[in-house]
Amino acid sequence: MAVPLAEELNPWESQEHLFDEAARHLKLASGLVKVLREPNKEIILHIPVQMDNGELELFTGYRVQHSIARGPCKGGLRYHPDVTLDEVRALASWMTWKCAVVNIPFGGAKGGVVCDPKKLSKAELERITRRYTAELLDYLGPERDVPAPDVNTDEQTMAWIMDTYSMHVRHTSTASVTGKPLDLGGSRGRQEATGRGCMIVCDEALKKFRMSRDRTRVIIQGFGNVGSEAARSLHSEDYRVIGIAELSGGIYNSRGLDIPALFDYKARNGTILGFPESEPYDPYELLCADCDILLPAATENQITSANADRLRAKIVCEGANGPTTFAADEILQQKGLFVIPDILANAGGVTVSYFEWVQDRQGYFWTLPQVRERLERVMRATFYDVMNYAAKHDVRPRIAAYMLAIDRVAFAIQLRGIYA
């Protein structure tokens, strides 16, 4: 069924379509569906910031808290000129389902500030971050809402948030954020976690289809934190990464790219373009190139009704949040592609964020092998939880993941009851 393009590309509309389909299969009471469907809180901020030139500028910020049924809210903070409330709302709801599907005791939240970090100094970014945090003090904290890095934010951003929060509560609160520097209570293995989690679920998909790593060709969209760490993890386990697409261009080598050398090349040159022993490739066409696994690890709405029927991958592992629109998802299902949905595939990040929160609250920190072993245990168990749910209810993996997550949140709400 054709849908208007604006509706297809609206992440909140896309999330709602998938939620509604899963909720129908679960046959939940209509009142409970209403509660689960809508965010608990949506906060819009207008943040005054004095710029380096002395002028006063006003930035718009958002924080959406979707659910607190299973624990404090958890979710990233992104800085981007195209941030919208609908985008943040969708990302917050995806976080609720992601935390529930891997069965960790968090609800979902997300934040964003409308700005272009490339045009801002480090001092200006710090002032935006601290004012944003101060405006949200009543809503943040280890037992309320725990931010993390996202698009254009990093461990330095989290250090500023942690310090601002700590100064106001008059004690150092390391568990108030995750994704921090190691020296401030960060966790080993956090930076690699989302990409490594993608590799773990790819391993399980290969077992399902009796494929071998060394003969599996992978194309990755995006070479930021998720894409680059996925490439590193996959390459280290003998997968053949044959293509990488970025906004500025793509690179391709049918024999496989030397990923450690590519990291060195990008560190020296600031780009992957021109990497030796690769040929340039149109980044949009690279998504449709012949491969075994396509791993979109950039932003939302990369696989749409305009290109879904041209995909030639056997497996799609969604490293990004919402990379496939609901209209495209139907096309992929009809084509018979096996999709590892985002709320499962990229849940490694929030899983290790949970590990960081636990370590901060204990004041006792784990080794990298311990973090990796526990992450692997969670991701593998969740993969089979979702596959078993899909088989039991005769639905595709994406809807199975939603159903499993929604069912867990609904059960928590019913156990708690409605306070009146």
- Condensed to tens digits (0 to 9), the pLDDT of residues 348-374 reads 999 999 999 999 999 999 999 999 999
Q: What are phi and psi of 43, to 5 degrees?
A: -115, 125
Task: Tell the CATH topology of 36-181.
Answer: Rossmann fold (3.40.50)
- Tell me the CA distances in angstroms from 254 to 258, 289, 298, one per residue in order: 12, 11, 22
CATH code for the part of the protein at 193-345: 3.40.50.720
- pLDDT of 230 > 70? The answer is yes
The predicted structure's pLDDT at residue 107:
97
pLDDT tens track for 42-73: 999 999 999 999 999 999 999 999 999 999 99
Residue type, 230: A
pLDDT tens track for 74-109: 999 999 999 999 999 999 999 999 999 999 999 999
Helices marked H in 114-224: 122-135, 155-169, 193-209
Percent of the chain with pLDDT over 70: 99
- Integer Cα distance of 99 and 306 in angstroms: 31
Question: What's the mean pLDDT in 242-255?
Answer: 95
Alpha-carbon 278 to chain mean position: 29
The tally of CA atoms less than 13 A away on the side-chain side of residue 228 is 15
- pLDDT of 15 > 90? The answer is no
pLDDT tens track for 119-170: 999 999 999 999 999 999 999 999 999 999 998 999 999 999 999 999 999 9
Residue 12's pLDDT band, with cuts at 50, 70 and 90, is: confident
- Integer Cα distance of 83 and 70 in angstroms: 27
Residue type, 245: A
Average pLDDT, the chain: 95
The predicted structure's pLDDT at residue 7:
76
98 is catalytic: no
- Integer Cα distance of 66 and 321 in angstroms: 16
Domain boundaries, the chain: 36-181, 193-345
Indicate if 193-345 has the same CATH topology as 36-181. yes
Q: Which residue among 34, 41, 74, 110 is the active-site one?
A: 110
Residue type, 283: P
The predicted structure's pLDDT at residue 4:
67
Residues in contact with 205: Cβ distance below 8 Å, sequence separation at least 6, in sequence order = 211, 293, 315, 317, 338, 340, 383
Q: What are phi and psi of 112, to 5 degrees?
A: -160, 150
Neighbours of 276 (CB within 10 A): 9
- pLDDT of 3 > 70? The answer is no
The predicted structure's pLDDT at residue 40:
96
